[in-house]
Amino acid sequence: MMHFLSLRRNLTLFVLLLQKQQYAIAFTFSPLSSYSYRGTLLLSSSTSSSATTRLHETTTSSEAIKTTTTIATTTTAAPNKEIDRRRNLAIISHPDSGKTTMTEKLLLYGGALQQAGAVRQKAEQRSTQSDFMEMERERGISISSTVMNFDYEGYRLNILDTPGHQDFSEDTYRALAAADNAIMLLDAAKGLETQTRKLFEVCRLRGLPLFTFCNKMDRPALSPYELMDQIQEEFELESYPVLWPIGDGDRFKGVLDRLDNVVHLYQKPVKRGAKAEVIKIPFDQTDKLEELIDDQELFLKLVEDQELLNELIEPLDMDRVLDGEQTPLFFGSAQTNFGVQLFLDKFLIMGTKPTPRKVTTTVNDDNNNNDDDNDDDVEDSSSSSSSRSKNIVSPTYEEFTGFVFKTQANLDPKHRDRLAYVRVVSGMYEKGMKVGHSRSKLGKKYNLAQAQALFGSDRSSIDIAYPGDVIGINNPGMFAIGDTLYTGNDRIAFPGIPSFSPEKFCYIRSPNPSSYKSFRKGMDQLLAEGAVQALRQRNDDGGGPLMLAAVGALQFEVVQARLQNEYKVESSMEPLGYTLARWADGGWDAVDQANADGKLFGIMIVQDRWCRPVLLFRNDWKASSLTEEQKQLQLKPWSQPPDFEQ
């Protein structure tokens, strides 16, 4: 089997970027050290051992993090009890592993739904809450990540259902940026698959504690031991079975909860989409257990498996889970509701609460307190009276901070609304608060008149939100993916959410001049969502042909379908014969020199949204050879947005 080092050589371009950008930050939850920042905890990489950091970076401990002067705060720190009860969870998998069905069943057992929907619908079933777009319902796949907020057993959960199809991987990576935990869903009959491997590495480099759920045990499945071996050999990740299956396929009887030593035997629900009926029995009541299982072979195998696991498997160690060395392993069937509630209950206890995150801060040394809407007297962040530093913001930091990881247009088609999905990192959101914006001038403030709790396409107004929450705010067109919102005098930016090399390119046009205005509006909003990337000819300020770039052709189909359904405009596409893109970090001077030397023959030169040079190639060989020969171009297979814009 492939080992970790060899697997890393085959990662997606995005994973390489995460590693380079040192994007993942996480902390164990032992007592924190007392690094002070405006009277709150702000942890640095030199924090004492009582707060062990898991930083995927190459900096040494001698690179101390620069602190700032004490400035009066304008907001209030979030209460610890609210932080402690927050949990968020991203669900990842290869396509058709049951991810959206699992989401629906978590909502069902969490009390957020009375009856769960299913992706493969039958006449008597309702549609899914998480797949609400028309194309998602037509094709039975997830196209866009979805957020569901709900309360359960005293906890506040934020579940992020992500697309599994590789054409929509970028949306999944953005959702993982907002997550503190991830569940890797496996098809028990297939084990580890291509997309699962890629997403696992993203989770590892993001520092996310990983839970594993082997789904579809109601169908013929691989041996549980074989699934454990796959995870160990390919990921160098030790599994600890929390739930152990009793049979599979038609003989799937239930699971053994190895933490409580209780067997849960299931009966299919009478009503489709309802909760399964469960019989609980202590494992040590062997006579009664054998009678209820009513299959001597399965009973004897269960007893043998329990003895073997107790002797050979290392105990569950949550510190090792947080460090990415161990994964709690669950077995069940989301379709038939077996094992779902048990997973949910265990996750509340094992899951990580909101974690600290790395930020770049620009400190205005003059403590400039300009009027909120007055840009004329705002000092630029690059001026001599301000300085930039790297910090790590804890959820207990008094000031509000958060970042936009997704935007969505037309959640309510009747109102043509636009929503920005914001992950709250620190402080509290309060209705009507004013925030700074990482891409606006220092001192410019925006009024967040209202925020909404999200439940698929449904929304409800809220007056307050805490670290770990994902909220929706009205987007006037200013907020984009990767933007940071904050309060206080210091300008703050979380690491931008990168884009990686597209593989499909085309021109898109409106064939009807009379509908061009609607076409332009629709494209602007879809591009802001990150549905596809936009490229243009050099020095094109928007009047020339628009080029779309995507990971897969299905993204182009989604754009055309949404233009037709949501904006009532037709579009035509002209495919281009290029297969990958490279950003030239060396800048336009290096590109011009290489072009003058005849090195860019057969290569298309375009610019991205920040007017930076991008080279399009017809094959990987040409891209690799140019990268090696023309090092001054500094070709990169990803696009990292700037921390700050003017």
Two tokens, residue 540:
């094109």
For residues 215 and 334, the answer to whether their CB atoms sit within 8 Å is: yes
**Straight-line distance from the first to the last Cα atom of the chain, in angstroms, rounded to the nearest whole number:** 50
Q: Which regions of 229-356 does DSSP assign to beta strands (E)?
A: 238-241, 243-246, 254-257, 262-267, 277-282, 326-331
Rounded to 5°, angle at Cα 537 from 533 and 539: 115
Three-state SS at 11: coil
Q: Is 349 exposed, middle or buried (0-12, 13-18, 19+ CB in 10 A)?
A: exposed
Two tokens, residue 238:
């030790």
Q: Which domains, and CATH codes, for the chain?
A: 85-350 (3.40.50.300), 354-361+372-494 (3.40.50.300), 499-639 (3.30.70.3280)
Handedness of CA 109, 113, 114, 117 (dihedral sign): negative
Q: Which residues of 480-516 are buried (b: 16+ CB within 10 A; e: fewer)?
A: bbbbbbbbbbbbbbbbbbbbbbbebbbebebeeeebe
For residues 553 and 515, the answer to whether their CB atoms sit within 8 Å is: no
The series of mean pLDDT values per 10 residues for the chain, 646 residues long, is: 38 42 35 30 34 32 32 67 96 86 88 57 43 55 77 94 76 90 95 89 89 96 97 96 97 96 87 80 95 95 96 95 95 92 95 92 57 36 53 93 89 72 96 92 88 82 95 88 91 85 93 92 88 91 90 89 91 95 95 96 94 95 95 90 63
Q: Alpha helix (H) ranges present in 163-207?
A: 169-177, 194-206
Single pTM value for the model: 0.78
Two tokens, residue 486:
């904050």
Find, among 387, 238, 380, 254, the residue nearest to 317 by Cα. Answer: 238
Q: What integer pLDDT is reported at residue 137 of this predicted model?
A: 57
CA distances from 386 to 301, 364, 412, 544 (A): 68, 4, 42, 38
Find, among 485, 486, 490, the residue nearest to 367 by Cα. Answer: 490
Tell me the DSSP string of 549-581.
EESSHHHHHHHHHHHHHHH----EEEEES--EE
